Amino acid sequence: MIVAEAKTLEEIFQLVEPFKKILVAGCGGCVTVCMAGGAKEVGLLASAIRLSRRNNQLEVLEQTVLRQCEYEFNRELSSSVSEVEAVLSLACGVGVQSLAEQNPDKPVLPGLNTKFMGLPLEQGVWAERCQGCGECVLDKTFGICPITRCSKSLLNGPCGGSQGGKCEIDPDVPCAWQLIYDKAISLGQVDRLRHIQPVKDWSKSRDGGPRKVVRGDVRLDEIGQ
Amino acid sequence: MGSPQAENRTGVFFCNCDGKFSDILDFRAIISSLDLASGEIVQEVPGLCKEEGQIQLSQSIRAASLNGLVIAGCREDRLNKACLHTANQHGIGPYRTAFVNLQDLCVNVHNSGGPLNQKAAHITQQALVGLRLQAPVEELKLQIFPAVMVIGRGEAAAEVAAEALKQQPVILVDEVAPPGLDLAASYAGCRVTAVSGQAGRFNVTLQGPEEETQVRVGAIVIALDTPKQIDPALNLPEAEGIVGVSSFRLEAEQDWHGKSVAFVMGDGESQQSTARALELALELREKYGARVEFFFTQMQVAGKDLEYRYRLAREKGVRFNRYIDPPDVHVNVLGVTLKYNDPQLTASVPSRALVDYLVAGEVDLPAPETAGLSKALQVNMGPGGFFQPDNIHLLPARSNREGVYFVGACHHPVHALDTALEAKAVAAKLARFAHGCVNLPQLQAVVDSEKCALCLTCYRTCPHKAVDINFEAEAARIDPLACQACGICAAECPAKAIELPRFHNRQVMAQLGYAGKVIAFACENSGLAAAELAGVLSRKYPAEVELIKVPCAGNIDAAYMLRAFENGAEGALLLTCHAGSCKSLLGHARAEARLQRTREVLASAGIKPERVRLQTLAANAAHKFVQSVSNLVESIEHGDGETR
Amino acid sequence: MMKSGSNLERVLEAGHFAVTAEIGPPKHADGGVIRSRGEQLRGYADAFNLTDNQAAVVRLSSIAAGAILVQQGQDPVIQMTCRDRNRIGLQSDLLGAYALGVRNVLCLSGDHQRFGNHPTAKNVYDLDSINLIQMVKQLRDEKRFLSGEECKIEPRFYIGCAANPFADPFEFRVMRLEKKIAAGADFVQTQCVFDMERFERFMEMVRERGLHKRAKILAGVMPVKSAKAAAFMQQHVAGMMVPDAMVERLKKAEDEKAEGLQLCIEQIKHLKTIEGVAGVHIMTLMWEEMVPFIVEQAGLLPRPEVSGDG
């Protein structure tokens, strides 16, 4: 899932400072699951904003849609959006932008910082697992992504800063290449690591410019034309 | 999730206790300040605990076709009973009848005046809006498996199996069926590897020497035998002639006449060990006239028959020697020599005893399967690697999961002394499952599968492990039998998809609309009870303090605290049980975490974070309740509260 | 035929025990510092490494510093990390460095910026060090850029790589060195050797795989100024191993600095005896003035003069 975390309340209070009526829009997708932007957080943030503006009235509407990254679901927000001066979105960056696209005449503000694609290691702890580089190498690295989990995204083994299974940048960060090596050992395939991974084609990643996936077979406007 | 009663016709009845409350409360003012919805009525009645009062209540119910009652009066049981009886007669039932304890929450604790009347109106209004928003409570009829699985071998397992057999089928795991017991099945040499389902419908996976078996039972009793070890604190050498209590056999000698035995009991050993030692000492003495020296440091007498056996042994000539440091023990061809300092004699010359055998006190070790079984059954472990956390609400036999119980030393050595009694107590709990069906009102947490995002928060957080994943509905499912209705999940759920039927978010939020300057969110197991006790004891505190009842501090949503301040409250207090005494184990910790978060919000919004506080207290700590609310009110009066 | 014709290559290929020394460029724009260092160390090493923003702290560029040494007639080894430049920048700098007379390049991943003086920087890591080695070799031997496009006048570098026998996983270290050599590394400079036992085990594995015959291995050494400094490296620097005995010896010494130098000299003498060690690389961490002393005391003078083969 996409993992996000709340901006500080100070930042948010500043963002909504110019307005007298806003909508706090939640998302029922990833950010609900990672506890950053679901109905619960919408309610808490709306309360916090109202409290901060108790001497300078600000009306706050609250609404959460199924997924803010879908135009169709966001239409449910249209009547609330029309009532307010600005929308504070508690979705990931995708949700914020889809709302912004759909509402060209309304400021849409981000209430979260979108962090990464990852998973919960335990309740309340999320870790990054994928960077969406566009060309998956997990088959070559035994299911552990060096692009994401090695601090230097090294493709050919650990740098000299790997010690005791930890990365040099932080003793809490496991060395991805130690993990890869351990997995290779348990699979009895260490020899596969001798192969030199060629230079990566980053054009398939974000470096190639904004990306799009087009599936002709499921596109409706392609059919019958 | 049910919606509120379609037609709300609730009547509010103030009992003025034959005018006694009228001296203090201004009922006219209170009544006129109530917000009534259409269909709601309010009346003042002189004495609801009397027949005339009940007749008047009946007439009013009939006249206004009421389907809900708020009874505001004293704490007396007879008032409650009489009103409930009348309510039942009119088909209103317990979940649409609310009682307001005006006596303990208002009359006894505040001086008369405006604030008191306002508080009386508020707490009555809170009960009223609670009923207004109360969804009908469903009666559930759950089909369950009547059989019980007993895991373990030895005395405890046999006792509980025998007891349970009187009422339901028993399946024994890891034990050959003891003779004379008509068991449904027994799986010797099998190990429990996984359990799915919930109380009433457990599906247990057993790993046998050859194959895996699935067994369906309603309840599980863990009665593992515990290994014994000579108390290591005694520091005894390993030698012939020195044995632990449980392995000492009278058959060791053909004839005990003229022989001598020393019993050495440690400080930390089980009562069972002491009891057995006394029994052996008595027998050696009585039957054979053997010389028996009994060494102890603290004589355990707080257990069944212990005191009696100790006295009897003394009478029969067992010599009791108290020691401060454990005896120094040496073994040679002559026997076992104990060198010790008798605290009653001058300590400079050690006393000596030479005996043929030394029988040592033993401590119980956790059964080796404990950790594995705890994981498979998802039951918590407690101190010392045994089962069961040290929590007053779980002791003696309950686990954190409904339908899983303990018998014997496996959950703590202290329980080993009277396994027969414990087995009976557990069997009484098992009786609930014996009929293959359980009826219960739906008062437990319910998941709205439309809203559920399957984030697994409830699944991971539930202290009772009452949450399963319903893959068909793609939503969490809270088991009504396993759920203890603490509401922790409801307050944690990031999708606001979980509600407790009687503490619904919209009920509490509406009640917060009628609350005072200082709001005490009170766990009904501690804070509320303490507040009511303050009433019984007539301990005064400021009338601006009002209570919002919660089933557990773990149900106090951060949103409740913030809403209180939004509504103009100037202070809030979370009244929770002590950390280790929370009925739902995690409630206090969750309340503490939400307190911190709320404080951060308040600070950012320019309100002093100390305006929201947490007080742990026991149900009988009326003074602590009064003190903590008074301190908060005082600090509000002193400081300006706002940092900007 | 020489690959680059650099002095370092000539010395190593002629079979001499080589000496390289590290020079840290300054944190300012005065090239005079490099110039005077170059003069001070002239004749004490066969080539001088110029670090590339070491520890992710901004310093005068390694190529510029290398060019200054070239002007003095010295043989620089420019260090090049993948942290700050993508393949375009790296290749451009390789062409530039070659044009300025630089003939040796040490290909590195580079220290993470986390502990440098710009921790909020974006890092690049378009390539890793092995890919960088491949790229430098391809330019030299195939006259092609990474893209495959022709490079008419190719930069001909003597290609170096680093190896750290003291990082984990230990067994992977030799494998990784082998990958670097397979990618095209001609010489290797190791992390500072303090734990001789572990280094010997490493070299044993290196010899097992015959790696010492495929590339010239220079063992890293460092004179430690104090017991405190040794203890710090022992505890806080990832990928460094300092034996307790060494810390103890420094602690007991009357003059810790002198003892540190003595230790370093002993280590060099020992390293010379290990089969497969083709030279030493002296890293002094702002104590460059001691290089002449160390080289002299270790019996490594005079440095050989080997003429080019054409």
Digit-by-digit pLDDT tens for chain A (225 residues) are: 999 999 999 999 999 999 999 999 999 999 999 999 999 999 999 999 999 999 888 999 999 999 999 999 999 999 999 999 999 999 999 999 999 999 999 999 999 999 999 999 999 999 999 999 999 999 999 999 999 999 999 999 999 999 999 999 999 999 999 999 999 999 999 999 999 999 999 999 999 999 999 998 999 875 554
Structure tokens given for B136: 């009908």
Tokens standing for residue C247:
């810390």
Do the strands B242-244 and A112-122 form a parallel or antiparallel pair, or are they unpaired?
unpaired
Contact across the interface for B559 and A48, Cβ inside 8 Å: no
pLDDT mean over B457-465: 97
- List, in order, residues 6 or more apart from A68 with CB less than 8 Å away: A25, A27, A29, A74, A89, A91, A92, A94, A95, A96, A98, A99
Chain A residues whose CB is inside 8 A of the C82 CB are 152
- Name which of A153, A178, A181, A207 to mutate to probe chain C: the one with the most chain C Cβ atoms within 10 A of its Cβ: A153
Q: What is the mean pLDDT of chain B?
A: 91
Contact A157 C172 (CB under 8 A): yes
| Averaged pLDDT in 10-residue chunks for chain C of 310 residues | 94 97 96 96 97 96 98 97 98 98 97 94 96 98 98 98 95 96 98 96 97 98 95 90 94 95 97 97 92 97 81
Q: How many CB pairs (< 8 A) connect A and C?
A: 104
What local confidence, expressed as pLDDT, does residue B210 receive?
Answer: 86
Written as six digits, the tokens of B341 are 């300092």
Question: E strands, C181-242, where?
Answer: 187-192, 216-221
| pLDDT at res. C297 | 97
Alpha helix segments (H runs only) across chain A:
9-15, 30-33, 39-52, 71-74, 78-83, 93-102, 146-149, 176-187
Under an 8 A CB cutoff, do B495 and A40 touch?
yes
Instruction: Decide if B590 contacts B609 (C-beta within 8 A).
Output: no
Q: Which residue of A has its CA nearest to C132?
A: A199
C87, C106, C172: best to mutate for the A interface, most A CBs within 10 A: C172
Q: A127: helix, coil or strand? A: strand
Q: Which helix (H) or strand (E) holds C248?
A: helix C244-252
Do C87 and C146 form a contact (C-beta atoms < 8 A)?
yes
Instruction: Kindly state the percentage of chain B with pLDDT values over 90.
Output: 68
Q: Look at residue A222 in the predicted model and tell me its pLDDT.
A: 55
For residue A173, give the amino acid letter.
Answer: V
Q: Which residues of B376-390 are buried (b: 16+ CB within 10 A; e: fewer)?
A: bbebbbbeeebbbbe
Q: Closest Cα of chain C to A214: distance in Å?
A: 27
Smallest CA–CA distance from B462 into chain A, residue: A123
The model's pLDDT over C52-83, given as tens digits with 9 standing for 90+, comes to: 999 999 999 999 999 999 999 999 999 999 99
Chain B hits for A9, CB-CB cut-off 8 Å, are: 600-601, 604-605
> What pLDDT does residue B495 have?
98
Fold for the domain defined by C7-225+257-297 = TIM Barrel (3.20.20)
| Residues C125, A198: C-beta atoms closer than 8 Å | no
What mean pLDDT do residues B389-401 have? Answer: 89
Task: Report pLDDT for B540.
Answer: 95
DSSP state of C92: H
What are the φ/ψ torsions at residue A187 (nearest 5 degrees)?
A: -90, -5
Sign of the Cα torsion B505, B508, B511, B512 reads negative
What's the confidence (pLDDT) of residue B324? 84
Identify the residue with better confidence: C274 or B638: C274
Shortest distance between the Cα of A31 and any Cα of chain B, in A, equals: 9
Count helices and strands (H / E) in chain C: 11, 8
The ranges assigned to domains in chain C are 7-225+257-297
Arithmetic mean of pLDDT, B283-305: 85
Contact (CB<8Å) C168/A151: no
Give C76→chain A minimum CA distance, Å. Answer: 23
| Beta carbons of C24 and C63 less than 8 angstroms apart | no
pLDDT per residue over C121-158, tens digit each? Answer: 999 999 999 999 999 999 999 999 999 999 999 999 99
User: Cβ contact (<8 Å) for B562 and A51?
Assistant: yes
User: If you search the block for the tokens 């410019």, which residue do you land on?
Assistant: A209
B559 contact residues in A (CB cutoff 8 A):
40, 43-44, 47
CA distance linking residue A48 with residue B604, whole number of Å = 8
Given a cut of 60, is residue B5 above it in pLDDT? no
Q: Is residue B1 predicted with pLDDT exceeding 50?
A: no
3-state secondary structure of B266: coil
Helix (H, G, I), strand (E, B) or coil at B363: strand
Do the bridges between strand B68-73 and strand A166-167 make them parallel or antiparallel, or are there none, so unpaired?
Answer: unpaired
Centroid of chain to Cα C42: 18
Q: Where are the alpha helices (DSSP H) in B300-432?
A: 306-315, 370-377, 419-430
Residue A163 C-alpha, separation from nearest chain C C-alpha, in angstroms: 5
Identify the pLDDT of residue B642: 58
- The total of other beta-carbon atoms located within 10 Å of residue A94's CB is 17
**Which tens digit of pLDDT belongs to each residue from B321-330?**
888 888 999 8
Contacts of C190 in chain A (CB under 8 A): none
- Going by beta carbons, is chain A in contact with chain C, meaning 3 or more pairs sit under 8 Å apart? yes
Q: Locate tokens 């120094």: which residue?
A: B328
**Looking at chain A, which residue has its C-alpha nearest residue B459?**
A123
pLDDT digits over B157-195, tens only? 989 999 999 999 999 997 666 677 788 888 888 899 999
- Name B153's Cβ contacts closer than 8 Å, sequence gap at least 6: B174, B175, B224, B225
Which of B371-378's residues contact partners 24+ apart within 8 Å by CB, and which partners?
B372/B191, B373/B151, B373/B192, B373/B222, B373/B224, B376/B192, B376/B193, B376/B194, B376/B195, B377/B192, B377/B195, B377/B220, B377/B222, B377/B401, B377/B404, B378/B195, B378/B465
A117: β partners: A2, A130
Alpha helices in B334-406 (DSSP H): 370-377
Choose the weakest-confidence range: B512-516, B569-573, C56-60.
B512-516
Query: CA B222 to CA B386: how far, in whole Å?
Result: 12
Q: Provide the edge-to-edge strand list for the sheet that holds A21-27.
A: A59-65, A21-27, A86-89, A108-110
Residues of A in contact with C87 (CB under 8 A): 199
Nearest CA in chain A to B564: A47
Q: Which residue from C168, C179, C183 is facing A164, i.e. has the nearest CB?
A: C168
Tell whether the model's pLDDT for residue B4 goes beyond 70.
no
Query: Residue B232: is the preceding peptide bond cis (ω within 30°)?
Result: no
Cis peptide before C302 (omega within 30 of 0): yes
Give the least confident one: B169-178, B228-237, B588-597, B634-643. Answer: B634-643
Q: How many whole angstroms separate alpha carbon B294 and alpha carbon B264?
A: 6
Entry pTM: 0.90
Structure-block tokens of residue C200 = 């010997």
Sheet containing strand B68-73, edge to edge, reads B41-45, B10-15, B68-73, B97-101
Among A153, A166, A196, beta carbon nearest to C125 = A153
Q: Residue range B598-612: average pLDDT?
A: 96
What confidence score (pLDDT) does residue B415 get?
64
φ, ψ (nearest 5 deg) of residue B350: -70, 145
